[in-house]
Amino acid sequence: MVKRKVAALEKVDADLVSLQYKIRRDPKSYAQEFYDQWLSYDAQRHIFVSSPSTASTDDVKKFHDLVDIVAHVADLYPDLTAPFPDHLKDLLNQHHAVLHSELREKVVGSLCLLRRKEVIDSTSLLTTLFPILISTPSKTLRSLLYTKIISDLRESNSKATNHRLNRTIQTVLHNLVTSDRTSTKGMWATRITRELWRRQIWTDAKPCDVMKEACLSDNEKVVAGGVRFFLGGDKEREEMEDDSSDDEGIDIKRVKHQGGINKKSKKRMKQFEKAVDKVKRQERKKSAPHPLNFSALHLIHDPQGFAELLFQKHLQNTKCKFTLDNKLLILQLVTRLVGLHKLTIISLYSWFVRFLTPKQAQVTSFLGSLAQATHNLVPPDALEPLVVKIANEFVSEASASEVAAAGINGIREIAIRQPLCMSETLLQDLVLYQRSKDKGVVMAAKGLQSLYREVYPELLQKKYRGKDATMGLRSGEVKLRKFGEEDTGGIEGIELLEQWKQEQREKKLAEQALIEAEGGEVKKIDDDEDGFNSDEWEVGSDDSDESDNGWINVSDDEEDGEPAKKRPKQTQMTDEDKANAIAEANRISVLATTSILTPADLAKLQELVREANIDKAMGGRTSKRKKELIARHIDEGVTAEDIELPATIGKKSTKEEREALAREGKPGRDEHKSTQAIRKSKKEAEGKSSTNKEKARKKNFMMTLGKARAKNKRSLIDTKASLKAHVAKAKQGGRRRNGVA
């Protein structure tokens, strides 16, 4: 007799997967079967819970499978499986330390699955996972929980911001950081917050508050996490955004084309629809208004108090034993805050004194931080001793050229922000270093000189003032700003907008009356030319327009931009100029005060400002210092590299450095090689042959010799014949008959 074949389900490893499939297809008919499995799950759970640590591998595996099937169909039998989420939660809470790793993973995964099927809500899931994340000793479980938590938060914020959930979680994180300031548990708060910030899921002030608390923690790691967030979180966020906008690799045309060629099937159809959908979504995303995201540094509540606390707790406190790197990070944050919000922490400057020696490790970072901490409201008295100290310690004939260059550059960075910090003798002394032999020192000294030519030429010796500054001084145009003096405020670029509106109005008028059209055109051309034919008041107003282009609020004097241009008028028309300026001011205030700027207006304004900015940068009429300030966004701080920059001038780089520089823009190359060589080796690898030219070049010399000799020996007649034949052949288009039909 033939041996009886056992049906698949009669074998013992009866198929839970197929049962699951059947249940999903027809939940009502398979209720009884599910109930069986539910009971057996329950029995297995009891077996497991009675001794979780000593459960046999068989039991664990069975339990694992049963949990899996119940989780997958739990949404179909809600009243039967009502206690299931609680079972899982209890299991995880009580036994996560002893659970078998696969089972543990399955339980976590099942909970997340239940969340996706909306059997449980996010809050309950996260409040279950979070305590375990903090307390578990297992690294794999931690990383699993971390990813699950992040992905769940992302998911629940994907359609619309889930404010309630976010608030709950943020409060949990806040409490985590503040409850025990000495423990490393706060790390998780910083990690989660930073990740969600990077993904732009959390963009408000609350996560900043969490990070602020993290910065004030006692644990070094937590503090470093918080500080790094403020220093780099926004940049990370921008990069993330750029990355995500880059990966739009779908070529809709190609997909369409493929659809036309390949066999038509439901799957392909779906693929096509998906691609179209994705492209549409991306387009919608592109046209959507850019979300206004404030940087974390701006969202801090009470920056003065925060900076003071941070400084006192971690820097001024001599008992604080953080590493130098972390202290530097904290210092950077404190000084960034001081510079950005123009805070006043007087003791900070005196604290700096003992670090400003060339022997101090990472002294350039200290110099950069000091520059960051300087703004126009810092009393010069506080800065002067520091500047003197830097000059004494760094800048002397005896010190190394790099040290001197870094010192002078550091002083310059401070002086950009507060020119009053310098005494006359010191400046004159420093400027003399432009006679040094080292190029770096020369550049740094010249930088300092050109800075003072613009802001405070009186301090320089006459021969170093330069032409522009001397004339500016004589005409009273270059003026020293007193301590605490500020620009009068206004809306950036409002006059540009007004001018543009005026033009639009004129255009309309011109269209209405054809005769006037010519006149309008002419006027506009005048505008564009920035005309020097100063007979109409419009041109005059245009001029002053240019002069105080309000887009750089950072700097001081309005007329700074173009002293050269004003020259012809200066002697005669100062009165008129003043009158114009007053009229201008009135006009601006008229537009700003009489109308409400619509979003369209604001957009146009931004555009105009950008255009004007570019014009000015291209024109080369702006001073170097202003260009520099335009280039550097106010949010970016001064780094050690900025300070070290002049010292690197004139230094030969090593081969490795050059290679690294060359490879920077070309990722995906395993060797540093010329493009030609790479192409060639690629061709060889593909088994393709070389070109005729290459063959000729490679041809053995001895082989060519005979022909060359024979050519030389030809008679004149032969030569003529061959030349003629060559010309004739060329006329016919060569051997290939190019260009001949």
Least spacing, CB of residue 44 vs other proteins, in Å = 5
* Angle between helical axes of 563-570 and 574-594 (0-180°, round to 10): 120
- Going by C-alpha positions, the residue among 463, 396, 462 that lies closest to residue 426 is 396
Asked if 40 touches other proteins (CB under 8 A), the answer is yes
Tell me 700's DSSP state: -
Cβ proximity to other proteins: between 37 and 217 the closer is 37
Cβ proximity to other proteins: between 43 and 708 the closer is 43
List the structure tokens of 448: 């300092």
Cβ proximity to other proteins: between 28 and 319 the closer is 28
Asked if 692 touches other proteins (CB under 8 A), the answer is no
* CB atoms inside a 10 Å sphere around CB 356: 21
Least spacing, CB of residue 39 vs other proteins, in Å = 4
Give CA separation, 660 vs 243, 639, 654, 666, in Å: 23, 21, 10, 10
Distance CA 446, CA 452 (A): 10
Among 32, 265, 533, 593, interactor with other proteins by CB under 8 A:
32
- Burial (0-12, 13-18, 19+ Cβ within 10 Å), 232: middle
| Binding piece for other proteins, criterion CB under 8 A, among 2-10, 104-112, 371-379, 565-573 | 2-10
Distance CA 416, CA 451 (A): 7
Least spacing, CB of residue 311 vs other proteins, in Å = 53
Among 1, 2, 25, 58, interactor with other proteins by CB under 8 A:
58
Among 35, 483, 532, 537, interactor with other proteins by CB under 8 A:
35
- Going by C-alpha positions, the residue among 538, 532, 536, 533 that lies closest to residue 502 is 538
Asked if 16 touches other proteins (CB under 8 A), the answer is yes
Asked if 287 touches other proteins (CB under 8 A), the answer is no
Locus of tokens 């960051």: 372
Among 11, 253, 284, 736, interactor with other proteins by CB under 8 A:
11
Contact 494, 550 (CB under 8 A): yes
Among 12, 288, 710, 740, interactor with other proteins by CB under 8 A:
12
For the segment 464-483, give every residue that binds other proteins (CB under 8 A). Answer: none
Asked if 31 touches other proteins (CB under 8 A), the answer is yes
Among 4, 5, 25, 46, interactor with other proteins by CB under 8 A:
46
Asked if 698 touches other proteins (CB under 8 A), the answer is yes
Least spacing, CB of residue 48 vs other proteins, in Å = 9
Strands of 273-428 (E only): list them.
none
* CB atoms inside a 10 Å sphere around CB 94: 12
Strands of 132-246 (E only): list them.
none
Asked if 28 touches other proteins (CB under 8 A), the answer is yes
* Residues contacting residue 217 through CB under 8 Å, at least 6 positions apart: 177, 181, 182, 186, 223, 226
Asked if 53 touches other proteins (CB under 8 A), the answer is no
Distance CA 158, CA 144 (A): 21
Among 17, 21, 24, 43, interactor with other proteins by CB under 8 A:
43
Tell me 82's DSSP state: T
Distance of CA 104 to the CA centre of its chain: 38
| Binding piece for other proteins, criterion CB under 8 A, among 6-14, 277-285, 631-639, 652-660 | 6-14
Q: Binding pattern to other proteins, positions 76-115, x when CB under 8 A?
A: -x-xx-----------------------------------
| Binding piece for other proteins, criterion CB under 8 A, among 48-56, 267-275, 423-431, 645-653 | 48-56
Asked if 240 touches other proteins (CB under 8 A), the answer is no
* Angle between helical axes of 220-246 and 205-215 (0-180°, round to 10): 150
| Binding piece for other proteins, criterion CB under 8 A, among 38-46, 198-206, 381-389, 431-439 | 38-46
Entry field: residues in the chain: 741
| Binding piece for other proteins, criterion CB under 8 A, among 52-60, 232-240, 285-293, 587-595 | 52-60
* Angle between helical axes of 574-594 and 537-547 (0-180°, round to 10): 80
Least spacing, CB of residue 77 vs other proteins, in Å = 8
Q: What is the DSSP string of 304-364?
A: HHHHHHHIIIIII-TT----HHHHHHHHHHHHHHHHHHT---HHHHHHHGGG-STTSTTHH
| Binding piece for other proteins, criterion CB under 8 A, among 39-47, 212-220, 226-234, 403-411 | 39-47
Least spacing, CB of residue 28 vs other proteins, in Å = 5
Contact 8, 15 (CB under 8 A): yes
Among 14, 269, 509, 661, interactor with other proteins by CB under 8 A:
14
Asked if 265 touches other proteins (CB under 8 A), the answer is no
Least spacing, CB of residue 84 vs other proteins, in Å = 15
Contact 149, 192 (CB under 8 A): yes
Asked if 25 touches other proteins (CB under 8 A), the answer is no
- Tell me which amino acid residue 423 is: S
Cβ proximity to other proteins: between 29 and 396 the closer is 29
Distance of CA 150 to the CA centre of its chain: 21
- Going by C-alpha positions, the residue among 719, 702, 709, 490 that lies closest to residue 605 is 490
Per CB under 8 A, residues contacting other proteins are 7, 9-16, 19, 28-33, 35-37, 39-40, 42-44, 46-47, 50, 54, 56, 58-59, 62, 77, 79-80, 698, 700
